[in-house]
Amino acid sequence: MNWSWDYVSEITPSLLQGLLVTVQITLISSVVAMAVGLFFAIAKMSANRWISRIAVMVTEAIRRTPLLVQLYFLFYVLPDIGIVLSPLVAGIVGLGLHYATYVSEVYRAGLINVPKGQWEAARACNLTGRQTWTQIILPQAIPPMIPPLGNYVIAMFKETPILSAITVLDIMGEALAQANFSYRYLEPITLVATGFLFVSLCSAAVIRLLENQLNLRAA
């Protein structure tokens, strides 16, 4: 197999478009994971046993089943009951919900690490539940969570190629489309690997920089 720079220049625009879709999916899925993960974490810590048990059961069910199976369920099974999702939406929902179960544990660990005295001080000041969470607890709990949350965002980015199984034209989907059309796999797959490596390294550097800034502030 010979490397062809002409073929590389021909397929690069499509792969760059696919990379933009991949980044878009990662960012939106991350927002979904962060929001739903926080909901799961608060539900798990609820004083109501039924709420906490249901939250644990739901998160464990999602975590213990493969992401690919969940994507197939969202894209191929839900239409049988009248719920039709586009490949992009199904991918975002599936990826976001799957990683929300892991993010919830990061949130829960961060919330548990907030000293009990802070909760007692909030009650002593007659703060409402909402004020306690938004003004006292979350501002202290979130900064230590940023490094592990950032690592999960990178993990989600590296997981996006699996979305090509439900016809999402991300960078992997575009690469497979080009490769299947020309029967040349060396260039597109190599470019995909290079793209993932470049973005992952840049993201890791940003996370380390942010972590260092947080450590300096804490010191």
- What's the whole-number mean pLDDT along residues 49-76? 93
Q: Report d(CA 191, CA 197) in Å as an integer.
A: 10
Give the predicted TM-score (pTM) of the model: 0.84
What CA–CA distance (Å, rounded) separates 129 from 72? 39
Q: What is the pLDDT of residue 70?
A: 94
Structure tokens at 160: 């996006």
Mean pLDDT over each residue of the chain, to the nearest integer: 88
pLDDT value at 5 more than 80: yes
Give 181-215 pLDDT, tens digit per residue: 888 899 999 999 999 999 989 888 888 887 777 66
pLDDT score for 182: 85
- Place 124 in a pLDDT band, splitting at 50, 70 and 90: confident
Task: Give the mean pLDDT of 129-140.
Answer: 78
The residues, ordered by sequence, that sit 6+ positions from 187 with a Cβ below 8 Å of its Cβ are 3, 4, 7, 8, 11
pLDDT of res. 122: 79
User: Tens digit of pLDDT for each residue in 67-96?
Assistant: 999 999 999 999 999 999 999 999 999 999
Q: What is the DSSP string of 157-196?
A: HHHGGGGGGGT--SHHHHHHHHHHHHT--HHHHHHHHHHH
Nearest to 142 by CA among 84, 204, 214: 214
CATH 1.20.120.80 fits 5-218, yes or no: no
CA distance 32 to 96: 5
H or E element in which residue 42 lies: helix 5-44
Residue 42 pLDDT > 90: no
Please say whether the dihedral angle defined by the alpha carbons of residues 39, 83, 71 and 153, taken in this order, is positive or negative: negative
Alpha helix segments (H runs only) across 45-165: 49-63, 67-72, 87-112, 116-124, 129-131, 138-159
- Strand, coil or helix: 3: coil
pLDDT of residue 215: 65
Assign 33 a pLDDT band (cuts: 50, 70, 90): very high
